[in-house]
Structure 1
């Protein structure tokens, strides 16, 4: 009996002297990327814009461009289409593409863009959640030119993990939109 009582008291003392575990606060990965540096992308296309020097450019047919960010495993896909009495259809297609992400997105914020001086009008979509694309946009002059773009990561969409890269690339897309001019 004393032996049992002795072991019981010792075990209580051992358990009682341990510190309580505290839950860790929620946090994002601390990923840091080089400060962006921009130069103007000039080509044979009907438009030009400033792009991040860290983006690798590949040009496809009909002025479709890919801005690849290898360190982030991400690409900004840019598609050019001429306007030929089909502006309404182009706008519907661009909006439809964005809103197809509502299945996984927790929020989609529309931010209109207007640059009267360069005649650039468009919309920037910020997509939150585990959607395949975190940002999309379109710009047009409403007469001849229509450009769409979107970010895609070459990893499974996990918003917490790609958040720092998504924020970085959203700033690059905004810069692209703000510096676009038609030729």
Structure 2
């Protein structure tokens, strides 16, 4: 062996031996923090009123339907109003059918009844888990005159893992809307 080859081998071994030990990176999850909800009263000339997140942009339509847009989360809550005219069973059936249209893509749909006897507000909240188009729907009624439905959508292709933090945050807003719903009679 020549001096050159010995020098090359020693250089190669010393170069290869100076590397730091490679350690696997721990699993981590993206941490998204959303501001605490600041409530704002809905002040429109409609048959209902509620409190909603002040971060949302309100867009009202002529028929008392509205959209609450959440630009930071690229999502929107669509709320519709209908008068009950002897068709409560059909309205409730349509709302339930609409929620279960997502069953093809959903992993699970949780139903949570809502009852506020004091203010005559009754309804159902549907939480959709999985890659469905809408992550939450609800309906509220007084069983006599008023019927309100709501659906949460994001302006993106549904990927449950990606939109889950925003969906959970907005589901709290939806529950707050349901809890503060009042009928104007």
* TM-score by shorter chain over 0.5: yes
1:70 deviates by 0.5
- 1:150-171 CA distance string (max 9 Å, x none): 1000011111111111111000
- 1:107-141 CA distance string (max 9 Å, x none): 11111000001000000111111111111100000
Alignment size in residue pairs = 181
Matches of 2:78 and 2:132, distance apart in 1:
16
| Greater gyration radius | 2
Cα RMSD of the aligned pairs, angstroms, is 2.4
Residue 35 of structure 1 corresponds to which residue in structure 2? 36
Alignment of 1:80-91 (within 5 A): 80-91=81-92
Matches of 1:175 and 1:95, distance apart in 2:
21
TM-score (norm 1): 0.88
* 2:45 matches 1:44: yes
* 2:77 matches 1:76: yes
Aligned partner of residue 72 in structure 1, secondary structure: coil
1:20 deviates by 5.6
Alignment of 1:1-183 (within 5 A): 19=21, 22=24, 24-25=26-27, 27=29, 29-183=30-184
1:36 deviates by 0.6
* Structure 2 unaligned blocks of 5 or more: none
Seen in structure 2, the aligned counterparts of structure 1 residues 103 and 26 have a Cα distance that, compared at 3 Å, is: farther
Aligned partner of residue 126 in structure 1, secondary structure: strand
- 1:58-84 CA distance string (max 9 Å, x none): 011310010001111000000001111
TM-score (norm 2): 0.87
Aligned partner of residue 43 in structure 1, secondary structure: coil
* Structure 1 unaligned blocks of 5 or more: none
1:19 deviates by 4.0
Aligned partner of residue 31 in structure 1, secondary structure: coil
1:23 deviates by 6.3
